[in-house]
Each structure stands twice: as C-alpha cells, then as structure tokens.
C-alpha cells in the first residue's frame, strides 16, 4: 500500500496524539510495525515564528518512519509558510489537522472549526499542497455538530485541493470523545473519494482493527487510545492479518518497552521530566494487570530512571517469576 508513492507497510497506522506521539513513542510504535506515525499537532504560527519548542517536535532523521508532521492553523498564507519549513524536516508526509475540537485551537478558526467553513479549509489545503513536493494528508471529523455532518463534502474538497489521503475520526467536534464513532460514515467517505481513506475511532483490539478495515472498505485504520498502553497492537494486527492469529505480550517485553521509552524520553526531556511524564504512561501500560492500582500509586512520586527500573522490575518481572513458580509448584 502507498500514499502518493510513500510505501506504507501496514494497513494500521498510529494516530497523532498531543503529549503522546513524541519521537520516543513514534519510534516504539514504528518498530512494532505501525504503517505510519505522526507528530503531535504543531501550530503553524509557532513554526513560522521559529518557536524552538515546536521545531524540536518535528520528525527527526533517526526515526524508523515513515512519519508525518501534523500542522494546524486558520490562515492559508501562514499554513503555506509553515508547510515549507516543515517540508525541510525529516517528515515524509505533511498532515493538516482539521479535527482538533479543543477550544484554544478552534476559537481561532483552526482544527475542527474548519469544518464550519469548508471553503477556507479547501484554500488552506491547496496552499499547503502547492508549497511542498511531499504528500499532504488531512485529518477531519464527521462534522462540527450533529446537525452539520459534512465529512463527505469536506473529503471531496480535500481531494479537489490535491490532498493525497484523508483520515476521518468519525465523531463530530461537539461529541469530543463521547458516543461511538460512525463507521458507516467512514465507509461512505471511502466510496465517494478516489484517494486513500484512513478510518479512525474506537478501535480497541487487533480483531476490531481487522473487522473495521474490511467492513468499512477503507484503505487503512488508525489506532489511538488503544495503542497508548499497547504499542505492540500493531505487531499483533500485522500477525493477525498474515497468519490469522497473534502472540500475547510477555511481562518481560512490557518491561523492556517501558525502560526503552524512559531512556529515549530522558534524551528528549532530561531524566526528571521524563520520569514525570512516564507516570501516566505507566498507568496505561499496566491497565488491567493484577495489582496495577498499587503500582500506579507507587509511581505517582517517580523522579528517576533508577526508581522506574526498580518499580517496573518489581511489578512486572518478579511478580511474573513468582506467578510462574506459583503455578508449577
Ligand atoms: C490525548 C489525545 C491527544 C490527541 N491529540 C491529537 C492530535 O494532536 N492531533 C490529532 O489529529 N488528533 C489527536 N487526537 C485524536 C486521535 O488522533 C484520534 O483521532 C482519537 O483518539 C480517536 O481514535 P481512538 O478511538 O483510536 O483513540 C488526540 C486524542 C487524544 C486522546
């Protein structure tokens, strides 16, 4: 499968997630076989202003990729300038965010607010497409509200503007994350445009990913929240597609992923900030495991890599050893 000549090795791709899809997490999910990863959403204004913090969040040459850089903005001219700058980074694709429902973003007309003004959204997309040789994708929602579902019109406008693929998170901006994603709508969008369609919303297992991919007839599925504590979901999806079943993850592999993420995040943010950011991540990684509540309580004060290693080893590895011996003896 391809998006405008970029080889996408899996039909499951990682969702862009602010505060989550940094270089460390992107590398991990890409190594687990995600077809495509995307940066956190980046403000076009900040890029054009030369904000160091935002520039640091751009894709890097040393990531496995393929990787997209996601930008948001309301002004076609600023988006054009930002896309030119982003183009010079190591991204293979530029993605435009037309789906963010957060007030800070929509109050300026960016993100999902573009769904209220499709004409301007089309001008923004055309400006970005014309500013770069790299493929351009757009991520949309179903519409602004229940009374104004316009994903098909929006998708066609994107196609006319020269966008190479479209992702649809099939909820309205008003819904936020409530209710269920409307996969019928994804299916309809896939039938109505001639560019690849990436369906997104509520995929919670490798089985659901396969089921949604085939039932909606879209080209790719995008996984967000389910990958937060299970980046290996992409390996499992790929195995399921090729062999009809997949292997479970062992506690020792979970521990190794956590420690590697901490190591990479230390490189990005420094040890103490990395440890603090890891606190919530550890909650995702241990969700559903016996004793996780106690473990989560223990990590609320996490400050260093050494503490993390001790806690993770104690919780995931020693418990596993005792469970093994408990089971056999
Ligand atoms: C914490 C969080 C951060 C997100 N950040 C972004 C973002 O930066 N850009 C974007 O397009 N979507 C963002 N999203 C939306 C996801 O990409 C995705 O569309 C949504 O979570 C639905 O997919 P899921 O049901 O698989 O999680 C975010 C979602 C969450 C939960």
By the 10 Å C-beta count (0-12 exposed, 13-18 middle, 19+ buried), 306 is classed as exposed
Encode the chain (329 residues) as per-residue pLDDT tens digits: 999 999 999 999 999 999 999 999 999 999 999 999 999 999 999 999 999 999 999 999 999 989 999 999 999 999 999 999 999 999 999 999 999 999 999 999 999 999 999 999 999 999 999 999 999 999 999 999 999 999 999 999 999 999 999 999 999 999 999 999 999 999 999 999 999 999 999 999 999 999 999 999 999 999 999 999 999 999 999 999 999 999 999 999 999 999 999 999 999 999 999 999 999 999 999 988 888 888 999 999 999 999 999 999 999 987 654 343 333 32
Strands (E), the chain: 2-3, 6-7, 12-14, 37-43, 67-72, 93-98, 136-141, 165-169, 197-200, 220-223
Strand ranges of the sheet holding 136-141, from the earlier edge strand across to the other edge? 12-14, 220-223, 197-200, 165-169, 136-141, 93-98, 67-72, 37-43
Q: Is 91 a catalytic residue?
A: no
At residue 97, the 3 state secondary structure works out as: strand
Opening angle at CA 232, ends 230 and 238, nearest 5: 135
| Angstrom distance (rounded) from CA 267 to CA 261 | 10
Q: Return the closest-CA partner of residue 13 out of 45, 31, 37.
A: 37
For 87, half-sphere exposure in the C-beta direction (CA atoms, 13 angstrom radius) is 16
Rounded distance from Cα 54 to ligand 1 centre (Å):
18
Under 8 Å CB-to-CB from 188, ≥6 apart: which residues? 152
Do the Cβ atoms of 114 and 150 come closer than 8 Å?
A: no
Rounded distance from Cα 174 to ligand 1 centre (Å):
15
| Angstrom distance (rounded) from CA 280 to CA 202 | 21
DSSP conformational letter for 247: P
Q: Tell me the domains of the chain and their CATH numbers.
A: 2-243 (3.20.20.70), 251-323 (1.10.1200.80)
User: Which residue, judged by its Cα, is nearest atom 30 of ligand 1?
Assistant: 17
User: Residues enclosing ligand 1, CB less than 6 A?
Assistant: 15-20, 40-41, 70, 97, 99-100, 139, 169, 200-203, 223-226
pTM of the predicted model as reported, rounded to 2 decimal places? 0.95
């Amino acid at each position: 499968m391809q998006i405008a000549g970029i080889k996408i090795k899996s039909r499951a791709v990682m969702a862009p997630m602010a505060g989550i899809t940094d270089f460390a997490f992107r590398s991990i999910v890409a190594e687990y076989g995600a077809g495509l990863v995307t940066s956190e959403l980046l403000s076009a204004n900040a890029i054009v202003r030369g904000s160091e913090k935002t520039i640091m969040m751009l894709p890097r040459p040393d990531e496995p990729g393929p990787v997209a850089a996601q930008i948001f903005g309301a002004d076609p001219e600023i988006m054009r300038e930002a896309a030119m700058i982003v183009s010079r980074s190591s991204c293979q694709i530029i993605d435009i965010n037309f789906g963010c429902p957060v007030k800070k973003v929509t109050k300026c007309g960016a993100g999902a607010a573009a769904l209220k003004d499709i004409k301007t959204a089309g001008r923004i997309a055309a400006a970005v497409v014309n500013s770069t040789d790299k493929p351009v994708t757009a991520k949309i929602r179903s519409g602004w509200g229940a009374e104004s579902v316009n994903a098909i019109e929006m998708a066609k406008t994107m196609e006319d503007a020269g966008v190479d693929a479209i992702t649809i998170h099939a909820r309205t901006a008003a819904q936020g994350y409530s209710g269920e994603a409307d996969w019928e709508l994804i299916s309809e969008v896939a039938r109505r445009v001639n560019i690849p369609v990436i369906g997104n919303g509520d995929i919670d297992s490798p089985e659901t990913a396969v089921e949604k991919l085939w039932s909606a007839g879209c080209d790719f599925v995008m996984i967000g929240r389910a990958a937060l504590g299970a980046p290996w979901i992409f390996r499992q999806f790929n195995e399921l597609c090729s062999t009809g079943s997949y292997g479970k993850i062992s506690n020792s592999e979970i521990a190794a992923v956590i420690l590697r993420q901490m190591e990479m995040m230390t490189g990005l943010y420094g040890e103490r900030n990395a440890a603090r950011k890891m606190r919530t991540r550890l909650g995702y990684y241990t969700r559903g495991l016996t004793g996780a509540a106690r473990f989560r309580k223990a990590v609320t004060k996490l400050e260093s890599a050494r503490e993390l290693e001790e806690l993770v080893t104690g919780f995931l590895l020693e418990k596993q050893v005792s469970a093994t011996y408990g089971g056999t003896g």
